[in-house]
Amino acid sequence: MGLRRHPDVAWQTIGDEAVLMCLADRRILGLNPVGALVWSLVEERDEDGLVAAVVERFSTGDAAAREDVRGFVALLRERGLVVEG
């Protein structure tokens, strides 16, 4: 997918969740374990890779995982949390 996390996002994982601080508009977001996994891998893997990681970690079906990944990545794009790499 060639995505990069936006440089104005500070973030860290806490357990299997993650917290994102959007420094430009001063919002704070919490990510559930699926979101946290996708966020942590979003620069390294394409959609298939992210789906595979979700399937492996959460023992879910491929179709459901793909739907989750697509929806979440679309949300990241929409909110400007990732930029095209």
Report whether 38 contacts 73 (CB < 8 A). yes
Nearer to another protein, 8 or 48 (CB): 8
Residues that bind another protein in the complex, under the rule CB under 8 A: 5, 7-15, 17, 19, 21, 23-24, 26, 28, 30
The amino acid occupying position 36 is: A
Check residue 85 and report its DSSP letter: -
Nearer to another protein, 8 or 56 (CB): 8
Residue 3: beta bridge partners?
Answer: 84
CB of 67 to another protein, least distance (A): 26
CB of 66 to another protein, least distance (A): 27
Nearer to another protein, 12 or 59 (CB): 12
CA pair distance 11, 1, nearest whole angstrom: 21
CB of 76 to another protein, least distance (A): 15
What is the Cβ-side half-sphere exposure of residue 39, based on CA atoms within 13 angstroms?
23
